[in-house]
Chain A
């Protein structure tokens, strides 16, 4: 096992990302208000709120693929995927911490979602397919 340290590091960054996503799902009020005009109606608020809930839930759902790949041992020892996942989730943690503290407008979540949730999940699926079909990962 040459890649000692990658396995716990990957798991811990993923857990940190999951924790902060659940945290935002719990207290998203100020972020929703940031992306509304100064006077807004209840329907506008609930529309933006629903969008953010869907984004966060899809972000949590994409973790299912990564956790299956990780705990199933399919990509646990794939060094490239591990490093990619560590860096993406680490970046997501820092960005989402700013998202919470500075009350970023909720549109900016989608950039974080695209780069730090969807991208590693996509490469995870590609790696799983490669391992299942070709027998080895890059």
Chain B
């Protein structure tokens, strides 16, 4: 994307100049790894909910609501990682901003699993803490890449 844009914008004299890539590699690695980690997180959470549903007493409808919330969190997470990775690779600010906005409900969902659900197991705490640290790191790298893209934009 950036290569074609540069070819359109720059006059022919500048052909052969070194193309600066502003997409952040650490951000992209984090997003790729976080996608896989969230898959593990989702499977572990579902298995933990199965365990909790089998052994612990729940009020009517609470377990179903919590499981649905975890699935909504999965949908938000898929969208967030998609927008962040596309925004980073195409060097567009909009995608990264959308992913940062989506990371607010993602952080709230992780905090829900960490603190606010009916029964918090130790495994829940560890898994949600790792997910929260991923989210925080991606927030930092997202803001850094927004600054980098905004500086380089011609307007």
Contacts and interface: CB of A to CB of B under 8 A. Distances in A.
A11 B126 contact: no
A118 to B, nearest CB: 22
A127 to B, nearest CB: 19
Contacts of A71: 26, 29
What size tier do the contact residues of chain B reach? Answer: 10 to 19
Interface stretch (B8-16, B33-41, B54-62, B103-111): B33-41
Interface string A1-39: 000000010011001101100110011000000000000
B85 to A, nearest CB: 15
B18 to A, nearest CB: 22
A104 B47 CA distance: 24
B74 interface: no
Interface in B58-89: none
A19 B127 contact: yes
Contacts, number: 27
Given A15-B130, A19-B127, A71-B29, A26 B36 contact: no
Given A23-B122, A26-B122, A27-B122, A11 B33 contact: yes
Interface string A59-78: 00000000000010100000
A19 B47 CA distance: 15
Nearest to A9: B36
Contact of B37 (A11, A26, A27, A73): A11
Interface of A is mostly: helix
Contacts of B123: 19, 23
Interface of A: 8, 11-12, 15-16, 18-19, 22-23, 26-27, 71, 73
Interface of B: 26, 29, 32-33, 36-37, 40, 122-123, 126-127, 130
Given A12-B37, A22-B126, A23-B122, 8 more contacts: A12-B40, A15-B130, A18-B130, A19-B123, A19-B126, A19-B130, A23-B126, A73-B29
